Structure 1
């Protein structure tokens, strides 16, 4: 497994995959029992993975408990990320959700206890809320960095304008910087290309990409059965709900047959290659429930799509960037054409 830094604003070295542990435990009524979860964890680390991603809400706290047990022997060699906002209790009290300083402080203390560690490498603010002022959140995160309880603060599932505003406010105030973002991204969910990924590249933020298989859709398994996240959770899952998604699935399966690999490996390899070409150093978060699924993900590490295969998937899954991107693209093309014509003519392009 290769390694990169968590964006350009940190020296934190992370593996090219992060191990998502939302399946570790059975607190949601479905998931992975301890024994298989430990095997998945061990095999991921043996393959060179060092980036572990969890959250207080995953499996009602069980995921953090299992991760804390598994990482104990090699804590300082591993990069541990967790999240707060929603809370571990399925029925939380009033003050135990959201991003206010009170919930931030209590949530981190409880996560540290469940994880059996005295620091968290990356703390994700899991979701934005509609109440907490951004300066209150940033001050609270800065306090935790100063105390050594977290090393880096980052935002998950935030819109680009909130992240960019927070990043600037932290910078001018001398607070701990916003280090990264976490967003959904796959062949069937590319809307992060409109604002989030360009913003991350411009600001030098680290990027982790959740659900690279579209909640299991891109494995092709839902063409034969509903078993999996679709039946167990019926949440965070894509289905063949449009002609484009059906066309994407057809192309993924056809390319998989051409190269003798699984559809999941083709889809994951495309996300990794796409991140490289976008220069975002995006790290896919893989979330296997079974060892066989982990092996499938790891197999994608040795799959290099041809330019033709990559371009075909890119073209068929492309999205409409909308306003103002379409108008800006047209203007930029005219600008570039005007500049090319100005070598022997006027210095200012004429529109």
Structure 2
């Protein structure tokens, strides 16, 4: 396996990151352990979790499996802070108070003394950004986290944070975690170019579009089980008809190439030069095979271009369409 460097940190990671959001939820402990072992067998050393995943059970299971296999020092671990973790009114957000309490609980559940990349999970409009950055810097100095990271922020918010960190000599965000897949390409407009310019690592989530790009969905095709069916958040996120047309066309393309749509969808994301590692996840080992199959696909620039043309390219940030590359006028 060819490992990749996270931004300019020097940290080497597998080209796929395994997301453990299913651990302790739709995947019980036995199935979670099987998936952990399956991805380790393929050489994956990068794992993503969060304090809010299944009320902390995701972190607990991951910590338990690392301990069982005595492999903590071989792995690069991420976790996140922001979401509501208790009934208390202050048990959420990016205040110094919540982050200081949150890191201690995450370390206990993960059975480790540090988290490699610690993500702020979303933007907190109620907390001064500098306060958040300072407490993350404190945690770096204490050795409890190695690198601050950020998920679900806009490019301007991340750039503002980088300016504050440089001005105040604080540890800066070194990795970002945006949504990115063939149907959802907004990250291409500003987030990914910013990441390349600032030399930030990128571990994007939802490469399968919540299951949309697995071959199970189409214009008139929908399974009885899956995130897009069972969870309102995903149903709304991918509710537009155009997404199902993209899925339909993508399924046909995968069939002509004789490859699993899930494998191809992940490989398409993985081939973007701005992406360090897409985050894959699954509810069981059978479902996991599709995403892991991306490691066996040799994606060429031409092939990626053909797949890209199956979806809708978002307009440039300035809306000056005449400056967009490869645009067709008619």
For normalisation by structure 2, the TM-score amounts to 0.92
Contact 2:189 2:317 in 1 (8 A): no
How much does 1:213 deviate? 0.4
Q: 1:15 and 2:52 equivalent?
A: no
Q: Is the 8 A contact 1:18 1:285 kept in 2?
A: yes
Matched residues in 1 for 2:179 and 2:227: separation?
A: 16
* 4+ runs deviating over 6 angstroms: none
Q: Distance in 2 between matches of 1:175 and 1:308?
A: 42
1:277-307 per-residue CA deviation (whole Å, 9 max, x = no partner) reads xxx1331000111101221111121113455
- TM-score with structure 1 setting the length: 0.86
Tell me what 1:320 maps to: 314
Residues 319-328 or 159-168, more deviating: 319-328
Aligned pair partner of 2:211 in 205, 210, 216: 216
Q: CA deviation at 1:255?
A: 2.1
Q: In 1, are the aligned partners of 2:117 and 2:175 still within 8 Å (CA)?
A: no
1:146 aligns with 2:141: yes
**2 CA distance for matches of 1:220 and 1:68?**
33
Residues paired across the two proteins, number: 320
Match of 1:82 in 2: 79
SS at match of 1:256: helix
C-alpha displacement of 1:236:
3.2
- Structure 1 residues 86 and 47: CA distance shift in structure 2, 3 A: same
Does residue 1:5 correspond to 2:5, yes or no? Answer: yes
Using the alignment, how far apart are the partners of 2:162 and 2:117 within structure 1? Answer: 16
Change over 3 Å in CA distance of 1:239–1:130 after alignment to 2: closer
Structure number with greater Rg is 1
Structure showing the higher helix proportion among its residues: 1
Preserved CA contact (<8 Å) 2:204 2:275: no
Alpha carbons of 1:144 and 1:306: their partners in 2 closer, same or farther (altered >3 Å)?
Answer: closer
Structure 1 counterpart of 2:228: 230
**Residue 153 of structure 1 contacts residue 179 of structure 1 at CA under 8 Å; is this kept in 2?**
yes
The 3-state SS of whatever aligns with 1:188 is coil
1:202-281 aligned at under 5 Å gives the runs: 202-222=197-217, 223-237=221-235, 238-239=237-238, 241-243=240-242, 245-273=243-271, 275-276=272-273, 280-281=274-275
- DSSP 3-state at the match of 1:146: helix
Which residues of structure 2 form unaligned runs of 5+? Answer: none
State the superposition RMSD in angstroms: 1.9
Contact kept? 2:94, 2:127, Cα under 8 Å? yes
